[in-house]
Structures are given as C-alpha cells and as structure tokens.
Structure 1
Amino acid sequence: MTKFRTESDLIGELQVPNEAYYGVQTQRAIDNFHISNYKMYHFPEFVKAIGYVKLAAAQTNHELGLLPDWLLAPISQACQEVIDGKWNEQFPVDMFQGGAGTSVNMNANEVIANRALEIMGYEKGDYQHCWPNDHINCSQSTNDAYPTTIKLATYRMNQKLVKKLQEVVAAFRQKGKEFADVIKMGRTQLQDAVPMTLGQEFEAFAATLEDNITRLDNNAKLLLEINMGGTAIGTGLNAPEGYAKLCAEKMAALTGEAFVSSKNLIAATPNTGAYVSYSSALKRFAVELSKVCNDLRLLASGPRAGLHEINLPAMQPGSSIMPGKVNPVIPEVVNQVCFKVIGNDLTVSFAAEAGQLELNVMEPVLCQAIFESVSLLENALDTLRSKCVEGITANREVCLEMVKHSIGIVTALNPYIGYKNSTKIAKEALETGKSVYNLVLEHQLLSKAELDDILDPKNML
C-alpha cells in the first residue's frame, strides 16, 4: 500500500505519497486541475527547461552570496538530474491550470528541494535543511521563472521542428530532381494553364516550405529576451541588484542560447508578444503545409476519374464498402494537424489579449497551445516525409497525354505558329475534341520533331 507523508502550506495540511519528490503545492494542483490529458511530463523540453532556469538561479544566488556553498552542490545536482530527464514523471501537473503557472513553478521547487534533501542524506519533506521557497525559489517569482521556462522550451522545440522541416524540404527537392524530365500541365483556378515539369512543381513545394525555416527561426529568437530578476511584477522585489543581468548570462552559458535580460522588466512581465509572433509563424507554416498537402491529394486523385499524375504510397485500404479504394491518408492527417495549429494560434491570440495590468494569468493555455502545435507539426512532418513524399512516383504517360490534349499548350506554341494559328487550333480543338498536338501536325504547322522539341521538358524551364 502507498505510504504518505504529511506536508502543510497556507491552506493547511495534506498527505503526499512518500515516494513523490513533489510536495504539498504540487499535490493540490494534481487534486484541483483535472482538466486535460496534457501533463508537464508530456513535454520533456518543458521539464528540462525549468531545470535550467532553477540551476541558473541557484548559480546566480550563490555568486551574489544568497546561497551557501553547502547547498549549491546538492541543488545543482538535483537541477542537472531534472535537465537529464531523470525525474520527468515527478512533473504531473496539468498544463491547464489557474494561478498563472504557480503550480508549475512550485512543482519544480519541490522536486528539486526534495531531491537535494535526499542527496544530503535527509528525508523528503524535511524542508528545514532545504526549502522550496526560500532556497530553490530564492530571488524569483513564478512570474519570471515560468515565462522564462516557456521561452527556453519553445526555443528548443523549434530547433527540433526546423530539423524535421529541413528533412521534408530535402525529400521534396529530391523528388524535384527525379521528376525533372516529366512534362505536365500547370493549372490555375483548376483550369489548364501552360506546360511545366513535375520536377518544377515539386521544387516549388520544397521552396514554399523552406521559406518557413527562416520565419520560424527569426520569430523564435524573440523568445531569448527574458525577465528573470523581475520577480512578481518586474520591480525586482526580493532580488539583489545585478541579479537580472547575471541570471540571463548564466542561462546563456548553461544552455548555449543567446539569452539577454529585458531592458524593462515591468513591461516584460505581462508581455506575451514574442509568443504571439512565434505562434503566427507556426500558423503561416501550417497554412502553407496544408496547401501543399491539398495539392498532393489533387495530383494523386483518381486513379481513373481524377488527375492521377502522381501515385502516393498505398498505406491502408480506403473503404469498408468499396473494394480497391486507397485513400491519401497521410496528406489528410497532415491537413488535420494544420487545422489544429491554426486554431491553436487563435487560442494564443486570445490568451495574450487577456493579460491585465502587471501580469498575464492566461500563459498556461498559451503555453500548452504552442507546445501542442510544435509537437503535432514535428510528428506530422516525420510522417509526411517517411510515409508519403519519399515514396511518390510519377505517372509519366498520364502527364504527357494531358499535355498533348490540353488547350493550354497553345500558349507555349504561340511564338512558333503565331497568335492567329494558335487561336484557330484552340477553337477547333474545343469544337472537335481533338488534341492540340494532333491538330498542329494535321495542319502541318510544325513537324513532329519540331513539336516534340518545343515540348521537351528542358525547354519548359
């Protein structure tokens, strides 16, 4: 049977499982917030980030004379273990919570304090030797530690997302090279336009997605300005002079990221503009990724009554009633991820707008929305690349026949046969159903060799 220890706080006494490294305030959050299926431990970068924040704070406090040598070592070891992911399961607080992130901050304070106590040879909960508030939370408030944690976690998650995006871009670019000699019709407004190559189309997909790398990275850099040392509302109450700048330097040194202290900590404490900008970049990426997936579904439509210019890998049977049907399930699921990301951006906007006076208490849902978007996109990109893009093949003959039968190739022939002849051929093709290709040969406007040379993919570039 589970054994318990008794801890107390402002509200009163509460039993906490003996094996838990978290304490009474975390237990209250567990009891109070049965809201979502998202816990802190579902986002390992979030747990790791708060370990870095607490380690930077401990080092800063020690350097400024607020933390004795004998406490620095065990606290530092406990923080490092959190960073290393050793205690992820000890962060069970729901991501949706009231209190502007206080439960997250206290979860970390309690875990690190209790682990430090254990390292020093004391029992969990024996806080007279290492106190979650007085020692782990020294010179801090939730209102600077929590947003700094979100910023580091988001920044690191963005790095992983961009890597997955680069891999997808490379996959599309490889297909662009593979399909460089496949002639096809381009389309505008779902109508025949002018000839192009399938390679050009896939290279355009790659370029569209690649542009988002710079946008995501540039907006992620906004997250590197932090408000550590601002404490409750940015005035720096209970933090010594020089703490803000030194703590930012410690964060930069520990993480290798270019963290800087905000110029105005009072302005920075309630400000969520960096999250809004980054979420907006995620939304734009989602919009463009969804468009690419729509195009893949259109190009693969059929196989007999659609465009059928490409084949997507067959991943699973597509119907419980229609034999032989195979659906484009991978682009479909990526579309749905994109819809979710677009919706999450609206959540971020509302949460940011809801900030009042010296604090924005809606950061928990803002945080969860961004983390969810990044995690979903990372998984979706991996799935799109490995289960779809890398296995796409071209239906070369279908593409060529569509070019030969399309009225759109008249535009490409215009410089060679003249506008008057082009108009005549287009009109006759529409009236008779004959292909432009065959009509040009029939009227002896060009030889077959000349016509094929004009329509050679290398001349479509």
Structure 2
Amino acid sequence: MGATRREHDFLGELEIPADVYYGIQTSRAVENFKISGLTISSMPRFIQALGQVKKAAALANMELGVLPRPVGEAICQACDRLIAGEFVDQFPVDVFQGGAGTSCNMNANEVIANLALEIMGRPKGDYHYCHPNNHVNCSQSTNDVYPTAIRLALYNSLTDFMGDMEYLREGFALKAEEFRNVVKMGRTQLQDAVPMTLGMEFSAWATTIKEDIRRIGEGREQISDVNMGATAIGTGINTPEGYAELVTKHLAEVSGLPVFMAENYIEATFDTGAFVQISGLLKRFVVKLSKICNDLRLLSSGPRCGFNEINLPPRQPGSSIMPGKVNPVIPEVVNQICFDVIGKDVTITMAAEAGQLELNVMEPVIAHSLFSALRRLGAACHTLRDLCVDGITANTERCYDLMKNSIGIVTALAPYIGYENSSAIARKALDTGGSVYELVLESGLVTREQLDAILSPERMLHAGEDSVLMKEIAERLEAMGR
C-alpha cells in the first residue's frame, strides 16, 4: 500500500491514499456501494454542474459575509477546474447509492476542499483551513445541491441530444429528397394500401423526429426552476438572509442557463415530476424511433423472399452457418437501445413515486437513468445515420413492379374510372392473379399514357386529381358506355 493520510468523521478514522483528492466520506461510500461498477465519473456533465453549484454558493456566501474571502476564492478556483472537466476520475462513488445523493455531494465537497487547500499551499486533508462541510458546503444541503446539479446537467445534456436528433432528422430528410421520384405501394396493417413515393416515407420519418425535437425542447424549459437555498427540506435553515435569491442569481451567471427560483421550496425539494416528464418525452421518441427501425428492417427484408424495396448498407456477415447472409444489425441495435430507454422510464416512474414526505431519496437512480438514456440515445442517432441511413439505396424497379401488380392501385384509379369499374378490376385481379396494371390496360378504360400519368411520382407528390386528365378519361368512358 502506498502513502496515506488519516482522516476522521464521527464514525471513526480511515487511511486515505495520499494522492487522491476525495476523503473519508467518499471512501466509505466506495466500500458501501459496490453495485454496478459505474461511477459518478461516467456522468461528466453532472460533475461540471456540481462545480457550478458549489461556485455559485461560494460567491453568494462571500458576498453575504459568511465565508472568508481567501477560502471562498480558493473554492471558486477549484470549482473552475471541475467545470473545465478536470478531476473526473476523483469521483469513484457508484451511481447506485443510498442516502439521497449525500455520498455524491460529499465526494464533490471533499475534492473541492482538497483542491482549494492545494491552491492555498496546504496539504490535502488539512481541513482546518478549508473544510468540506464548513466551507465548501456552507449554506447548503445535499437536498438542494443534488437536484439542482441534476437539472443543470440535464438541461445541457438535452441540448446536446437535440443536436443528435437533428443530425438523424437531416439524414432522413436528405434521403427523402433523393427518393422523391421512387413510386411504391404504401401499406396499412401489412396489406397493400395506396401508391406513394419512397421519398414520402422518408420525409414522414424526418417529420416525426422533428416533432420530438420540439417537444423535448419544451420539456427542457420545465427543469429551469431550482431549489438552491432550500437546504434540508425547503425551509432554508442554516442560510443567511437573502441567500436563496443571491445564489440563484450567481448560478445563472456561472452556468449560463436560464435558472430561476422555484415557487415553493418545500415542494421543489421533494418533487421529481419534471424528471418524469423528461423521461416520458424520451420514451415517446424511442417508441417512434424503434418503429422506424422496424420499418427499415421490413422494407429491406429479403433479398429474394421479402419486400426488398430498399438496401441497407452491409456492415458484417450475418450468420455463422448461412453463407452470404447479411442482417440489418444497425436498426437492430437501435431497437435494443430503445427498449432499454423504455425500461429506464419505468425505473424513473417508480423512483419518483417512492418519494416520502419532504424528500425523494431515490434521485440517484433517476439521475443515472436519465443521463445513461441520453448518452446511449445520442450514440444511437449518430450510429443509425452514419452506418445505415446515409448508405440506403432504393430498388426503384422493384418498388414500381410491386406497385403495378398491387390491388391497391385501384384506389388511385377510382376517381378517374369510377368505383364500380375499379371494383370489377380488383375482383378480376384477385380471381385470376393478374396484374391490375395490365388488366386496366386490357379493359381499355384508359390509355397507357393516361395510366402512367395517374401513377406518376408527380401525382403521388400532390394531393388532388388532374382535372384535365379526369375530363379526358370521362369522355373516353362515355364513348365506351362505361
């Protein structure tokens, strides 16, 4: 064992490695919570947010005269280093922890205190000059620091994630333009419906993602109210007069985010409804994203015995026993990420419900679930576009042949040749197995040029019928007595 320093708390003493910046309470938490192998260091934005909260508190405490300026300035410098992304490895506590986040808060207090001591020219653990509780945690409680830091980090993480979503949306939009003239058959209930274009299908996917970007942006604004100054349960015990307003003002300046004081600090200290709302918005998105991945897998199924309307870029051999098989591995992995996020929504829901009286002690699993979901979903958006969507190609002839041979095209013909004629052709196609396209031509109801015009990409792209074409066909039908 290397060099150590001895620290104490009211439970006793421990030997702490001399070179680490955390202290005794962090060490106890590391021993107590050997759960997941995932530590707070896996949430770097959260650590940055803790630095912002602690700096805002130090600035307010110095201004109100309850924190000596030399100590407060050293604390602010230490916080700046956390905000800059340094010392992430000094947060070894498991993301799953009891105590409502106290271990996490004390981890930050100890790291900042020892960094401040180093800045002041003092050795680590010399807490007489800068104490984790007396100085770094001055006018604070875990119960206002922890949820406030979650909100700051979540706001920034959502902003990043909205960029990831936009990147994926753009990929689908570009393909929508590329496939704008690829006519195909639309389907409902896995049965032939009516003609459309492949571009329309991709455009719809781009639009549904755009809707969720907007919804998540709206949800992000609901986490801007913070309870700094609430301390233990929302009464503001152990804070100087004016502290809540001042620390919130400094927090907005330090973070650059539109934070404001919660309306009721008792309510804000126990309420986790905003986190449930954000989780619900993420669930809404992944339900739709997983559906899109299902569609990509269906449309690319085959290649000989499936839809085979599009080709997904081949990424790896698909079987250890079947030569030549290539699987849709990218949509499949995104499906699985979506399932995981839906499961996390259940976890967040149960954790929010488990709050009792003036505090919800389950916030650590809420924080882990949200940040983990956002991190994985951001990666999923980039993976889906980079390794799948950008490389999709259309089997144009296959799409057109399926559309021509589908019973469904009679729906597009009905406004021109009438419902009865359309029904008769549909029945004949079903009875004989013949192509609707060829049966229409055999009937003489329309010319090939007129039929191709009805089924053209231009007609599929615009609602409404061609009045000139309708008049021509009507005259033809009248002449035929049909």
Deviates more, 1:338-347 or 1:247-256: 247-256
Once the 2 structures are TM-superposed, how far is the Cα of residue 416 of structure 1 from its aligned partner? 1.4
Once the 2 structures are TM-superposed, how far is the Cα of residue 371 of structure 1 from its aligned partner? 1.0
Q: Tell me which residue corresponds to 1:257.
A: 257
Q: Tell me which residue corresponds to 2:201.
A: 201
Helix, strand or coil at the partner of 2:332 = helix
- Aligned-partner Cα distance in 2 for 1:351–1:394: 46
- Aligned-partner Cα distance in 2 for 1:351–1:247: 28
Q: Tell me which residue corresponds to 1:302.
A: 302
Helix, strand or coil at the partner of 1:445 = coil
Q: Which amino acid aligns with 1:433?
A: G
Q: Tell me which residue corresponds to 2:478.
A: none
Helix, strand or coil at the partner of 2:361 = coil
Q: Tell me which residue corresponds to 1:439.
A: 439
Q: Tell me which residue corresponds to 1:76.
A: 76
Q: Tell me which residue corresponds to 1:284.
A: 284
Q: Which amino acid aligns with 1:319?
A: S
Once the 2 structures are TM-superposed, how far is the Cα of residue 264 of structure 1 from its aligned partner? 1.0
C-alpha offsets along residues 41-82 of structure 1, whole Å, 9 cap, x if unaligned? Answer: 111101111010101111111111112221122111100001
- Aligned-partner Cα distance in 1 for 2:430–2:107: 72
Deviates more, 1:69-78 or 1:25-34: 69-78
C-alpha offsets along residues 309-339 of structure 1, whole Å, 9 cap, x if unaligned? Answer: 1111100000001111100000000000000
- Aligned-partner Cα distance in 1 for 2:59–2:312: 54
Alignment of 1:215-364 (within 5 A): 215-364=215-364
Once the 2 structures are TM-superposed, how far is the Cα of residue 426 of structure 1 from its aligned partner? 0.5
Helix, strand or coil at the partner of 2:85 = coil
Once the 2 structures are TM-superposed, how far is the Cα of residue 177 of structure 1 from its aligned partner? 0.3
Helix, strand or coil at the partner of 1:361 = coil
Answer yes or no: is 1:413 the counterpart of 2:386.
Answer: no
Q: Tell me which residue corresponds to 1:27.
A: 27
C-alpha offsets along residues 247-295 of structure 1, whole Å, 9 cap, x if unaligned? Answer: 1111111111110111211111011011011111011111111111111
Q: Which amino acid aligns with 1:399?
A: C
Q: Tell me which residue corresponds to 1:64.
A: 64
Q: Normalised by the size of structure 1, how large is the TM-score?
A: 0.99
Q: Tell me which residue corresponds to 1:371.
A: 371
- Aligned-partner Cα distance in 2 for 1:264–1:443: 75
- Aligned-partner Cα distance in 2 for 1:340–1:261: 34
Q: Tell me which residue corresponds to 1:130.
A: 130
Q: Which amino acid aligns with 2:245?
A: K
Answer yes or no: is 1:48 the counterpart of 2:18.
Answer: no
C-alpha offsets along residues 162-219 of structure 1, whole Å, 9 cap, x if unaligned? Answer: 0000010000000000000000000000000000000000000000111001111111
Q: Tell me which residue corresponds to 2:476.
A: none
- Aligned-partner Cα distance in 1 for 2:246–2:118: 29
Helix, strand or coil at the partner of 1:397 = helix
C-alpha offsets along residues 62-119 of structure 1, whole Å, 9 cap, x if unaligned? Answer: 1111122211221111000011111000011101000100000000000000000001
- Aligned-partner Cα distance in 2 for 1:2–1:385: 48
Once the 2 structures are TM-superposed, how far is the Cα of residue 420 of structure 1 from its aligned partner? 1.4
- Aligned-partner Cα distance in 2 for 1:271–1:384: 36
Helix, strand or coil at the partner of 2:76 = helix
- Aligned-partner Cα distance in 1 for 2:86–2:418: 74
Q: Tell me which residue corresponds to 1:16.
A: 16
Q: Tell me which residue corresponds to 2:464.
A: none
Helix, strand or coil at the partner of 1:127 = coil
- Aligned-partner Cα distance in 2 for 1:315–1:10: 58
Once the 2 structures are TM-superposed, how far is the Cα of residue 10 of structure 1 from its aligned partner? 1.3
CA RMSD of aligned residues (A): 0.8
Q: Which amino acid aligns with 1:256?
A: G
Unaligned runs of 5+ in 2: 462-482
Q: Normalised by the size of structure 2, how large is the TM-score?
A: 0.95
Q: Tell me which residue corresponds to 1:92.
A: 92
Q: Tell me which residue corresponds to 2:396.
A: 396
Q: Tell me which residue corresponds to 2:479.
A: none
- Aligned-partner Cα distance in 1 for 2:195–2:37: 50
Helix, strand or coil at the partner of 1:269 = helix
- Aligned-partner Cα distance in 1 for 2:11–2:85: 31
Alignment of 1:132-147 (within 5 A): 132-147=132-147
Query: Percent of aligned pairs with the same residue?
Result: 58
Q: Tell me which residue corresponds to 2:381.
A: 381
- Aligned-partner Cα distance in 2 for 1:72–1:357: 34
- Aligned-partner Cα distance in 2 for 1:217–1:40: 26
Q: Tell me which residue corresponds to 1:37.
A: 37
- Aligned-partner Cα distance in 2 for 1:448–1:343: 54
Helix, strand or coil at the partner of 2:270 = coil
Unaligned runs of 5+ in 1: none
Helix, strand or coil at the partner of 2:236 = coil
- Aligned-partner Cα distance in 1 for 2:273–2:148: 14
- Aligned-partner Cα distance in 1 for 2:213–2:38: 27
Deviates more, 1:103-112 or 1:213-222: 213-222
- Aligned-partner Cα distance in 2 for 1:245–1:437: 73
- Aligned-partner Cα distance in 1 for 2:70–2:414: 85
Q: Which amino acid aligns with 1:185?
A: M
Q: Which has the larger radius of gyration?
A: 2
Runs of 4+ in 1 over 3 A off after TM superposition: none
- Aligned-partner Cα distance in 1 for 2:250–2:31: 35
- Aligned-partner Cα distance in 2 for 1:2–1:262: 47
Q: Which amino acid aligns with 2:270?
A: P
Q: Tell me which residue corresponds to 2:180.
A: 180
Helix, strand or coil at the partner of 2:187 = strand
Once the 2 structures are TM-superposed, how far is the Cα of residue 37 of structure 1 from its aligned partner? 2.3
